[in-house]
């Protein structure tokens, strides 16, 4: 069973930066996709950024140019560098994984992902 653990959330002022990390255990697939989603209480979960095993990426319009998704040398890690943060970026951020990913770069729709972490909170104050 794949397990995802996020870290790196916190509180920051508008204009600041945070880097989220996600480690996937028991994740040794070749054609995978990894993604970050976020959710605010009372709202639907929103796809933020995704990356496939070939390095292809996709971003939500709201974060393009400010957020960067990447992987470390260990392919079971995925990062989300968030710069120029805004109060509307405040949310719980979740890491998601799809071991067998046929849509590349990956769609940012939660139904495409089989595994989820528990989330890390990001709070941006004005």
pLDDT in tens, the chain (126 residues): 899 999 999 999 999 999 999 999 988 888 899 999 999 999 999 999 999 999 999 999 999 999 999 998 888 999 999 999 999 999 999 999 999 988 888 999 999 999 999 999 999 999
Q: Are 116 and 48 in contact (CB under 8 A)?
A: no
Cα torsion angle, 7, 46, 11, 66, sign: positive
In this predicted model, what pLDDT tens digit does every residue of 53-84 receive, in sequence order? 999 999 999 999 999 999 988 889 999 999 99
């Amino acid at each position: 069973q794949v397990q995802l653990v996020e870290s790196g959330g916190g509180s920051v002022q508008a204009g600041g930066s945070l880097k989220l990390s996600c480690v996937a255990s028991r994740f040794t697939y070749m054609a995978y996709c990894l993604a970050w989603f976020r959710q605010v209480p009372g709202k639907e979960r929103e796809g933020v950024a995704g990356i496939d095993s070939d390095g292809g990426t996709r971003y939500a319009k709201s974060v393009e140019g400010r957020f960067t998704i990447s992987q470390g040398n260990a392919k079971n890690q995925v990062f989300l560098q968030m710069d120029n943060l805004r109060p509307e970026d405040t949310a719980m951020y979740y890491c998601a994984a799809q071991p067998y990913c046929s849509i590349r770069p990956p769609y940012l729709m939660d139904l495409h992902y089989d595994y989820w972490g528990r989330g890390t909170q990001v709070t941006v104050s004005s």
